[in-house]
Chain A
Amino acid sequence: MTLAPPPATETAARNAAHRALRRVTRLPVAVGLSLTWLALMLLCAALADWLRPYDVTQMDLMARLSPPGTPGHWLGTDELGRDVLSRLIQSIRVSLIIAFGATLLSALFGTTLGFLAAQFRGAVEHFVVMLADFQAALPFLIMSLAVLAFFGTSMWLLVALMGFYGWERYARIARGLAISAGAQGYAAAVVQLGATPRRVYLHHILPNVASTLIVSMTLTFPEIILMESGLSFLGLGVQPPESSLGNMVGFGREYLTTAPWIMLAPAVVIMLTTLSISLAGDWLRDKLDPTIR
């Protein structure tokens, strides 16, 4: 009596399951945790309106400065009796929206300038490189301080300003990659076939350099979160009644001795979020970037 071999489909299914399992277990624990945390943050931002138990500005004057663990206020309340958890959830949304918007803007702006420099060379290229040099010479925080303080703060200005953060890196990368792509067969071939520059860049060069650009987006994203929260902490970023993680820390600072939880809750969220993006970004870079062993 011999045992019948398991049907082929079953083996394939088992193999696939095995491979999937191995892929999951091969994901380092830290990266897994980071991705989970980031997913949680995205959920928070997306579902902020449903998740937060109270309105952001709703005051409970009887329960001012209640510590975390108070029934009804898990993370405590601030000096006006506003629920810290509700404000935290709203702040996560605001900070993430700014960071996403700014990262996209900066990638778009930088890549466009880089491609323009690669396409036209000559004076255009010199101009782009000079702009990049200038951007690198003046620390971004200082430049933003000057602009925000003198133009006043609005949400749009803030996103637009943050959208300049790190553009010079995309410009340099895009220019370098586009120039080397131009020397490779595929770009020259489509040019010979009569493709417009627009088509060459958007349909042929961009897909080939996208992974490197995405990797630098994972680098700029946490930096933009830090920059925005730094500015908000200094009182020049997001303005009340709107709240962001940074301005929660800034206001919480006043109550450091009596109610440290006001400042600690957003501080922990900032720390975990930027840490998670760094860990996940490193891992992604190892996966995507062919230039790194």
Chain B
Amino acid sequence: MITFVLIRLVRAVVTVLAVMTFAFVVLRMSGDPAQVLLGPDLPQEAVDAFRKEWGLDAPLWQQYLSYFRAILSGDFGLSMRDRSPAIELVLDRVPATLQLTLPALLLKLGIGIPAGIYAALHRDSAVDRGVIFLAILGFTIPSFVMGLVLVLIFAVTLHWLPSGGIGTWQHALLPAITMSIGGIGILARFSRSAMIEVMGQPYIRTASAKGVRWQDVVRGHALPNAAVPIVTIVGFMVGSVISGAVVVETIFSWPGIGRLLIVSVANRDLAVVQCILLIIAAVMVVSNLVVDLLYGWLDPRLRAQPAH
């Protein structure tokens, strides 16, 4: 068990390091932030002074080393736009993003999983077909189309809800729904197929044959076994939550991390973009790690075996 955890930990750290390096290389090699921020007309001395101030005049590997050292000591650099620490700018946006992503996650879990399980238990019924169709529809409609259609219906035509901005809970309603629909579809489909597969296993037949009540077969034997693949997908969803927020926050002018990323990318604000990339990678890696550890808890068979 300890080696299992250790291997996962090492892999997680390596992944984060790889993302850090990727962010650094892409952002530094692609253009001169001095030109973008200061404009092309500035005298050369000003550009040089700017480069010196931000350490852009050192060789790339030196910049990389100092970037690395700084991050290890918790310093993510200053935003080139307003000179405040990048990490503060990013952390300021976290609550807004959580206000959308947490309700969206609850909607995904609360609707997607029960719908999928119900469909699996009533296979080939009208409800099952309906669930499959809605699920496919849900994850094939891109979120920007879904968001705009919802705005068109509920904000522009019916005037029931605001079309953008942050404030009351009504403001969060449309973006949270938009964010959750794709996930509901994926989870419904996934839980359905996981459940159908489990229901075909011999131990389910055995349990039914020895006279266990149907509800208890489902609850005690089928659900725990179907949980492993479902947890995998949920973990992946939690990990990729910020990239889903990018599009939705843009549509609804929601001041979260996703908006900040788009704005910072447009402004070439290196420190902020790097900071967000790192946070995204960290969230992804941590949720994968949690999923791996959950496997051991959900499935005792995985606990006994050494990893690999």
Chain A interfacial positions (CB closer than 8 Å to B): 130, 133-134, 137-143, 145-147, 149-152, 222, 226, 229-230, 233-234, 236, 246, 249-250, 253, 256-257, 260, 263-264, 267, 270-271, 274-275, 278-279, 282
**SS class of chain B's interface: helix, strand, loop or mixed?**
helix
Interface contacts (Cβ under 8 Å), in number, total: 115
Contacts of B18 in A (CB 8 A): 130, 134, 137
**Residues on B facing A (Cβ under 8 Å):** 11, 14-15, 18-19, 22-23, 26-27, 30-31, 136-137, 140-145, 148-149, 151-152, 156, 240, 242-243, 246-247, 250-251, 261-262, 265-266, 268, 273, 277, 280-281, 284-285, 288
* Known contacts A229-B142, A233-B144; A256/B152 CB under 8 A: yes
A263 and B265 alpha carbons, distance in the complex (Å): 25
B229 to chain A, nearest CB (A): 15
Knowing A138-B284, A149-B266, say if A249 contacts B26 (CB, 8 Å): no
Alpha-carbon distance A91/B293, docked complex (angstroms): 46
Contact partner, A233, options B19, B136, B247, B261, Cβ 8 Å: B247
Given the complex, which residues of A lie within 8 Å of B262, measured CB to CB? Answer: 145, 234
Q: Are B142 and A270 closer than 8 Å at their CB atoms?
A: yes
| Cα(A152)–Cα(B288), bound, Å | 32
Which residue of A151, A230, A234 contacts B30 across the interface (Cβ within 8 Å)? A151
Contact B140 A137 (CB under 8 A): no
Q: Which residue of B lies closest to A137 (CB)?
A: B15
A33, chain B: closest CB distance, angstroms: 13
* Given known A146-B277, A256-B152, A260-B152, contact A134–B19 (CB-CB < 8 A): yes
Indicate whether A142 sits within 8 Å of B280 (C-beta atoms), given known contacts A150-B31, A233-B247, A267-B148: yes
Closest to A147 in B: B26
CB–CB A145/B247 < 8 A: no
7 nearest A-B residue pairs (beta carbon): A150-B30, A139-B243, A149-B265, A274-B140, A267-B145, A137-B15, A275-B140
Option from B19, B145, B243 in Cβ contact (under 8 Å) with A249: B145
Interface contact B15-A142, CB-CB below 8 Å: no
**Nearest CB in chain A to that of B274: its residue:** A146
Instruction: Kindly list chain B residues whose C-beta atoms are within 8 Å of the C-beta of A230.
Output: 142-144, 247
